[in-house]
């Protein structure tokens, strides 16, 4: 089946620094990728949707300049948390959708997530 | 904005008992998906429902989509410890909103 990887799986950074999270589709080309954030014991919140080669579409309330998303290729999307603060500590999960068939079936393939802790 | 609520928030059952989680939307859904997330894991796609009144089965899991396409349910017959996790419904229209989730705990 389709596999999505994320790197790193966990990261600890100091307040004020930037962190880049990579999301890769390993055995398929992902035309659309999604970035979610999940706080402990809460549901997943969609942050942004990105299509390869175009600017990401951010959800209301998500700061574009703080959460930089790049989808430069059909197998890689990156999320950069700039000037991170403790309140940005969360579980960040990406998902990918591949073909028209997936779009019709609705299936998304999720990465294992990245746990970010900002101290 | 559109909200997708799930009830109950938590459910503790004895192994072998049945379990049901309900998903309710404030607006009509184009289609709905169900996901399972194990503790510490990521969501895994279970199924998508598209048609009004649709019912789909996967072994012990039965998924239903309401006639008005504003609600959906997931029913597990004779739960097993492997069913432990959080079950999310998700709107799959133009906004990919997850429901609030129902955390299932199964006691052996």
The arithmetic mean of pLDDT across residues A63-70, rounded, is 94
- Cβ(B4)–Cβ(B24) below 8 Å: yes
- Cβ atoms B106, B13 nearer than 8 A: yes
Of how many residues is chain A composed? 119
Q: What confidence score (pLDDT) does residue B2 get?
A: 56
Return left, alpha or beta for A106; rule: phi > 0 is left, psi -120 to 50 is alpha, else beta: left
Higher pLDDT, B94 or A18: A18
**Contact at 8 Å (CB) between A71 and A33?**
yes
Contacts of B96 in chain A (CB under 8 A): 34, 46, 49, 108
Q: Name, in order, each residue with C-beta under 8 angstroms of B20's C-beta and a sequence gap of 6 or more.
A: B73, B74, B75, B76
Q: How confident is the model at residue B1 (pLDDT cuts 50, 70, 90)?
A: low
- The DSSP secondary-structure symbol of A59 reads P
Query: What is the rounded average pLDDT of the residues B3-20?
Result: 93
* Residue A54 pLDDT greater than 60, yes or no: yes
Starting at the edge strand found earlier in the chain, the sheet holding B32-37 runs B10-14, B102-107, B85-91, B32-37, B43-49
Residues of B in contact with A93 (CB under 8 A): 42-43
% of chain A surpassing 70 pLDDT = 92
Q: What residues are paired with B12 via a beta bridge?
A: B105
The more confidently predicted of residues A97 and A117 is: A117
pLDDT at position B42 is: 87
pLDDT of residue B88: 93
pLDDT average, residue stretch A54-74: 90
- Number of C-alpha atoms within 13 angstroms, CB side, residue A93? 23
**pLDDT surpasses 70 at A65:** yes
Strands (E), chain A: 4-7, 10-13, 19-25, 32-38, 44-51, 57-58, 67-73, 76-81, 90-97, 109-110, 114-118
| Cβ count within 10 A of residue B29 | 25
Of B31, B33, B98, the CB nearest to A44: B98
Q: How far is B12 from chain A (nearest CA, A)?
A: 16
Instruction: Enter the DSSP assignment of A88.
Output: G
CB within 8 Å: A110 and B43: yes
One DSSP character per residue, chain B reads ---EEEE-SEEEEETT--EEEEEEESS--S-EEEEEE-TTS-EEEEEEE-STT-EEEETTEEEEE-TTSSEEEEEESS--GGG-EEEEEEE-SSS--B---EEEEEE-
Could you tell me which residues of chain A have a Cβ less than 8 Å from any Cβ in chain B? 34, 36, 42-46, 49, 59-60, 93, 95, 105-113
Give the per-residue pLDDT at B68: 94
Residue-wise pLDDT for B69-108, tens only, equals 999 999 999 999 999 999 999 887 645 678 889 999 999 9
Task: Indicate the range of A6-20, A61-75, B74-88 predicted with least confidence.
Answer: A61-75
Chain B interface mutation, best of A44, A50, A92, A105, highest count of B Cβ atoms under 10 Å: A44
Nearby residues of A77 by Cβ (< 8 Å), 6 or more positions away: A22, A23, A30, A33, A35, A50, A69, A70, A71, A94, A96
Mean pLDDT for chain B overall: 91
- Average pLDDT value for residue range B63-74: 96
């Amino acid at each position: 089946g389709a596999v999505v990887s994320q790197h790193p799986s966990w990261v600890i950074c100091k307040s004020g620094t930037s962190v880049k999270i990579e999301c890769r589709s390993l055995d398929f080309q992902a035309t659309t990728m999604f970035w979610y954030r999940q706080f402990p014991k809460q549901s997943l919140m969609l942050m942004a949707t990105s299509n390869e080669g175009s600017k990401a579409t951010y959800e209301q309330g998500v700061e574009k300049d703080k959460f930089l998303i790049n989808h430069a290729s059909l197998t890689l999307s990156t999320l950069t948390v700039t000037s991170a603060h403790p309140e940005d500590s969360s579980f960040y999960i990406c998902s990918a959708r591949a073909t028209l068939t997936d779009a019709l079936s609705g299936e998304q393939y999720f990465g294992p997530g990245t746990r970010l802790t900002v101290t | 904005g559109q909200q997708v609520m799930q009830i109950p928030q938590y459910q503790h059952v004895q192994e072998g008992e049945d379990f049901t989680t309900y998903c309710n939307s404030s607006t009509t859904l184009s289609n709905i998906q169900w996901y399972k997330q194990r503790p510490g894991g990521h969501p895994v796609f279970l199924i998508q429902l598209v048609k009004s009144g649709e019912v789909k089965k996967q072994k012990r899991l039965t998924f239903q989509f309401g006639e008005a396409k504003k609600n959906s349910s997931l029913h597990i017959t004779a739960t097993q410890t492997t069913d432990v996790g959080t079950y999310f419904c998700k709107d799959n229209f133009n906004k990919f909103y997850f429901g609030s989730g129902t955390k299932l705990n199964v006691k052996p």
